[in-house]
């Protein structure tokens, strides 16, 4: 008769977000806990608004239910939670990989921005040099034309004499 009241109290504590850190220490005999106690304990390890999750300990509790109490009504829920823990850990790992990739790509973007600024500066300098060279080429063409005209004048003056 006491057991349902204790379990109901534990669920109220769990649902209230207070956490069941009390369960972890003194109030339960964890040498040979029942499937229900292991389930509640496993749920408490999943965290709350005040405590971070401890998926390793939660996994141990739910796995014990599956291994030691295969006929328990808590086994199916435990298997589901184990699957969810696996997915959470997988997503956390993918998240870390994506964060590392984002950091790497951000560095690469910054390097590319620096390179683009350098290339724009170099392009501007080359455009100015190119404009100067075009003017020089135009001057050379004009000088060449003048030189040809002078040669022709000199030739015609030499022939007249």
Summarised one tens digit per residue, pLDDT across range 32-72 is 899 999 999 999 999 888 889 999 999 999 999 999 999 99
Give every CB contact of residue 63 below 8 A, 6+ residues apart in sequence: 78, 82
Q: What is the pLDDT of residues 5-38, one digit of tens each?
A: 444 444 444 444 444 444 444 445 567 899 999 9
Question: Structural domain of residue 106, as residue ranges?
Answer: 1-131
Alpha-helix runs per DSSP H in 16-74: 21-25, 35-45, 55-68
Q: What is the pLDDT of residue 156?
A: 83
Q: What pLDDT sits at residue 21?
A: 45
- Kindly state whether residue 22 falls inside one of the protein's structural domains: yes
In a domain, 5, yes or no: yes
Domain contains 96: yes
- For residue 51, is it within any domain? yes
* Any domain includes 153: no
Phi, psi of 54 (to 5 degrees): -120, 90
- b or e along 4-18 (b: 16 or more beta carbons within 10 Å of the residue's beta carbon)? eeeeeebeebbeeee
């Amino acid at each position: 008769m006491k057991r349902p009241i204790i379990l109901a109290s534990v669920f109220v504590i769990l649902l209230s977000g207070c956490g069941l850190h009390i369960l972890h220490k003194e109030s339960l005999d964890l040498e040979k806990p029942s499937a229900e106690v292991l389930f509640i304990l496993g749920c408490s390890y999943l965290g709350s608004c005040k405590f971070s999750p401890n998926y390793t300990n939660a996994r141990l509790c739910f796995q014990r239910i599956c291994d030691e109490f295969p006929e328990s009504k808590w086994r199916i829920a435990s298997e589901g939670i184990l699957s969810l823990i696996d997915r959470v850990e997988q997503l956390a790992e993918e998240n870390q990989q994506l964060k590392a990739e984002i950091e790497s790509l951000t560095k690469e973007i910054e390097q590319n921005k620096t390179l683009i600024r350098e290339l724009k500066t170099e392009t501007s300098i080359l455009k100015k040099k190119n404009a100067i060279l075009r003017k020089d080429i135009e001057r050379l063409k004009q000088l060449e034309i003048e030189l040809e005209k002078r040669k022709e004048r000199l030739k015609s003056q030499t022939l007249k004499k």
